[in-house]
Structure 1
Amino acid sequence: MKIFVSNDISEKGVALLREHFDVDVMPNMKPEELIKVINNYDGLVTRSMTKVTKEVIEASTRLKVIGRAGVGVDNIDIPAATAKGIVVLNTPEGNTMAATEHTVAMMMAMTRHIPQAHQSIQEGKWDRKSFDGIQVQGKTLGIIGVGRIGSRVAKRMQAMEMTTIGYDPYITEERAHQVGVELVDFDTLLAKSDYITIHTPLTKETEKMLNAEAIAKMKDGVRIVNCARGGCMDPEAIAEGVKSGKIAGAAIDVYPTEPLTKENNPFLGLFNVVQTPHLGASTIEAQIGVAVDVAYGVIDALEGRPVMTAVNMAPIPKSVAAVIQPYFKLAERMGTVGIYLADGPIKSVEVEYTGALAETETQALTTAFLKGLLNPILQESVNFVNAPGIAKKRNLEVKEVKANKPGYFTTAINVKIATAKGTHKIEGTLFDGKQPKIVQIDQYHVDFNPEGYLLLAPHVNKPNMIGQMATILGSAGININGMQVGSTPKSDTNIMAIAVGDDIPNDIMLQLRGVEGIIDVKLINCEG
């Protein structure tokens, strides 16, 4: 597989990618240039400078993942990528501390006129009267977006004895309480805040959130900080607010159009405005962090594993990931086993979670199951992004169930697959919290790792059944990696579960089915 890196990222991230793939680094291509080469690559790694347009995405038949070394993904056409089943991921943790520290630095620089005072003294002046500031102690800081960065900014400014309030419709009162932030509605935040800092992604809801209408609702003498996304503000409205005195100061790191020039900078010549050229993530540590994080995300996506930071599938919080991550392989392999068991078109599936899984979010595990179920039978690639959509398109009813009372195993996944001819059941769990095991297929109790090829052979309980099967396989040069025999609910019958090293040709399968006393033989490729 080949990866295209379209912007400069830390060499540590590039080196990590090169351990797995061929990598080409060609920074700062224009969209029309990218269109010409993108079909040669399976993955694209970018930063904010590259515009990954719908035309770029549609020009590729190979692209499977787009990795953004940073947080903002407004330079990527996510709907177009999702429609093609392309994973889009970002790196929200890699530059969190850098952005937090830059926000605090900008706030204090604005408050104490540090850049202006520095420039004055560089010009040979000693002017103390022009640079009187205020103290942040006792002031109210309004935080729009109390997520990773917003909550960290709150913690640091609380240490400077600021009162912190926040507007964020996506966090709970409990979480806000944990980080010391009082949740309020948007208008209340505007009216009560002495300082306002924004930490949200750019969406339809947040575009130009800080506009003339919002500014009119703010306190006189408010101070505004934006180190998040330039599109979340109306720069002209903020500049007018500074000129009128409504806004006492502004600290701006990001802009709707970058790079900023003299022609499109409304803050030129405004004494109370501090500006930097999108430096929020510009620390050595952050650049290494986002490069390494994006590399790991791309590797996971191309090697078929779920990507915890994918932005076009349901996000997986760290607390949830800690519980469900060990079960991803199990869920996907159960789906693959299920499609081999199905004896006709599948009408519906029910995925039941017990124990610890019943107490957390499991949508991603259900998606993993669907991926395993659909991949072996479709020509198109099925992944964690498009699996739910493909299931819906095929009119496959999917139901999740949470069971309060666990069965024999404390935590397990139980699946029912309904076809026109009947229903199949599969149960899976983890041994020692890490080893995937299939423990039941239909009415049969089994115990096997869902890897490689598996022969399931219900048979009459009589001598030499195992010997005959082993002889046929051995004569064909097929190695047996493991074997288990268990009883079935039907009187005088057992089932063999035989793990084999290779696929089994049809003529050998016919010989196995021809053994007297063998009720059925089914070969399952657990890996799809």
Structure 2
Amino acid sequence: MAPKVLISDELSEAAVQIFRDRGIDVDFQPKLGNDKEKLLEIIGNYDGLAIRSATKATEKIIAAATNLKVIGRAGIGVDNVDIPAASKKGIIVMNTPFGNSITTAEHAISLMMAVARQIPEANASTHAGKWEKSRFMGVELTNKTLGVIGAGNIGSIVIDRALGLRMKVVAYDPFLSEDRATELGVEKLELDDLLARADFITMHVPLTEQTRNILSRDNIAKLKKGVRIVNCARGGLVDEEALADALKAGHVAGAAFDVFAVEPATESPLFNLPNVVVTPHLGAATTEAQENVALQVAEQMSDYLLTGAVSNALNMPSVTAEEAKVMGPWIKLSGHLGNFIGQMTDEPIVAINILFDGTASEMNLKALTASTVAGIMKATNPDVNMVSAPVIAKERGVKISTTKQDQSGAFEGYIKVTVVTPSRERSIAGTVFNDGKPRFIQIKGINIDAEVGENMVYTTNNDVPGIIGVLGSTLGANEVNIANFTLGRSEAKGEAIALLYLDAPLPAKAIAELEATGKFKQVKPLRFDI
């Protein structure tokens, strides 16, 4: 029997035809996404669900999807899909991470031009029968310095277009290597230096804890007077109230926003201010972009339903069905190893070296490598997956190398990940025990045996008495229970480490108290998707 796919949002007829041409029974109901009860009633009849943003694939919908095998999102954002619920039911969630890149980059350039020449206000004035030629004095882009925050897929396209406009481009991106910066034709800067030099600033980063309010009130105060700011990335990257104050004070000359902290944005501190251009999240709103992502999702879903091939999946590695049974725990391990290093690293990554030993060396190394790189990148970009992470790493000039070797120690197999930054190397190794659970077995060359938990804390210190007591008493006083406690040291009275698996996240107060003891070189809370 042919697989059945439900399309519950607007998708192009060409995408619908792809399903039909591949022999898939497709039910095209583009308005169904707005009818939750009807969707709930019929979702159990389908193997695949193709959506845009209107359909909400909630836990309730997924629970009723008794036959569903794949959800395909035509676009990058999957906020409308309960991915944990889908994962528990074995439903793959796919997106199309690169289909909107050119369109979003072009919108950023368009907004930059619009705010430079006050085009929307001049347009409204002229339509009103006024001829206020002297009122709308603009600035040229040529020879101005554009500061790009985030030089990934979209940011690199913006850089290319800006260089074509004869702008000088500087970039801030913790993962941008010097080689990649040279290739792009930009000067790599720290954030404070970029803020002080840029005449225009455009942001192309995801919204994470690290990037939230990256243009905070304090950072806005550091901006060059007369700067113009563009945001086509994510709402929440800029303190909108602080920016409004800077615009009113004349410190910032203009702003152009396509995204807002709260959407739909029916009100904002930026609304109705002079020389502020606003659009209703139109970054991906072109005919070409909508067509591209629709065609991509149709091809990806068809490939999976007919052949089992997985691409651009957010909750499953790109491996065959046969490999998945054996590799599942190792995929988890490689992701955890990468995520550990990603959370520990705040410098640009120059290289990622992965050693596969014993049984690990006999597996699908492409998938294990992709899982490792995705783990590293997820620390700063939660939108990456096993397909997109290696591409993003390559774009940023990160060199990825792998080595295979026969069993060389006490373990039947293990994976060791080493990340190289301009100032240091950081490494971690792990294995999978017979119980199928990943373990960390070495950090910084120090042997350990640590189970991986959702909430962990890593500490380093000199090997002196009393460390266990300090950790235990401090966490106890903060009502944080320790599920597992692992210690290791290089030698007696040398460097020592501790890795604690906690029942709850470590509060900031506890971190401060541990640091205040003066006994620790480092106290780092960690979080893993288990």
Q: Report the TM-score, using the length of structure 1 for normalisation.
A: 0.58
Query: CA deviation digits over 1:35-57, x for unaligned, max 9?
Result: 45433333222223444344443
Question: RMSD over aligned Cα, in angstroms?
Answer: 3.7
The alignment partner of 1:164 has SS state of: strand
Tell me the residue number matched to 1:372. none
Q: 2:286 aligns with which of 263, 283, 286?
A: 283
CA contact (8 A) 1:45 1:68 kept: yes
CA offset at residue 99 of structure 1?
A: 1.4
CA contact (8 A) 1:349 1:418 kept: no
Distance in 2 between the 1:362 and 1:401 partners?
12
Q: How does 1:17-416 map to 2 (within 5 A)?
A: 17-19=19-21, 20-27=24-31, 28-29=33-34, 34-261=39-266, 264-313=267-316, 350-352=359-361, 362-363=368-369, 399=414
CA contact (8 A) 1:353 1:401 kept: no
CA offset at residue 304 of structure 1?
A: 4.9
Q: Which moved more, 1:214-223 or 1:32-41?
A: 32-41
Query: CA deviation digits over 1:426-453, x for unaligned, max 9?
Result: xxxxxxxxxxxxxxxxxxxxxxxxxxxx
CA offset at residue 334 of structure 1?
A: 7.2
Give the direction of change, closer, same or farther, for the CA distance of 1:290–1:401 in structure 2 (3 Å limit): same
Query: CA deviation digits over 1:472-494, x for unaligned, max 9?
Result: xxxxxxxxxxxxxxxxxxxxxxx
| Structure 1 segments (4+ residues) deviating >6 Å | 334-338
The alignment partner of 2:111 has SS state of: helix
CA contact (8 A) 1:48 1:75 kept: yes
Distance in 2 between the 1:34 and 1:171 partners?
44
CA offset at residue 353 of structure 1?
A: 6.3
Tell me the residue number matched to 1:478. none
Tell me the residue number matched to 2:352. none
CA contact (8 A) 1:350 1:400 kept: no
CA offset at residue 151 of structure 1?
A: 0.3
Give the direction of change, closer, same or farther, for the CA distance of 1:179–1:401 in structure 2 (3 Å limit): same
Q: What one-letter code is carried by the residue in structure 1 that aligns with 2:27?
A: V
CA contact (8 A) 1:87 1:301 kept: no
Query: CA deviation digits over 1:215-238, x for unaligned, max 9?
Result: 233222221111122243343333
Q: Which moved more, 1:266-275 or 1:179-188?
A: 179-188
Tell me the residue number matched to 2:487. none
CA contact (8 A) 1:352 1:401 kept: no
Give the direction of change, closer, same or farther, for the CA distance of 1:185–1:418 in structure 2 (3 Å limit): closer
CA contact (8 A) 1:351 1:401 kept: no
Count residues with an aligned counterpart. Answer: 351
Q: What one-letter code is carried by the residue in structure 1 that aligns with 2:14?
A: K
CA contact (8 A) 2:16 2:28 kept: no
CA offset at residue 192 of structure 1?
A: 2.6
Query: CA deviation digits over 1:268-288, x for unaligned, max 9?
Result: 321211112222222221111
Q: What one-letter code is carried by the residue in structure 2 that aligns with 1:92?
A: P
Q: What one-letter code is carried by the residue in structure 1 that aligns with 2:74?
A: A
Q: Report the TM-score, using the length of structure 2 for normalisation.
A: 0.58
Q: What one-letter code is carried by the residue in structure 1 that aligns with 2:191?
A: F
Identity among equivalent pairs (%): 45
The alignment partner of 1:196 has SS state of: strand
CA offset at residue 26 of structure 1?
A: 3.6
Q: What one-letter code is carried by the residue in structure 2 that aligns with 1:232?
A: L
Bigger Rg over Cα: 1
Give the direction of change, closer, same or farther, for the CA distance of 1:7–1:73 in structure 2 (3 Å limit): same
Q: What one-letter code is carried by the residue in structure 2 that aligns with 1:62?
A: N
Q: What one-letter code is carried by the residue in structure 1 that aligns with 2:285?
A: S
CA offset at residue 214 of structure 1?
A: 3.0
Give the direction of change, closer, same or farther, for the CA distance of 1:186–1:82 in structure 2 (3 Å limit): farther
Distance in 1 between the 2:41 and 2:251 partners?
50
Gaps of 5+ in 2: 328-356, 373-385, 388-410, 418-431, 435-530
Tell me the residue number matched to 2:5. 3
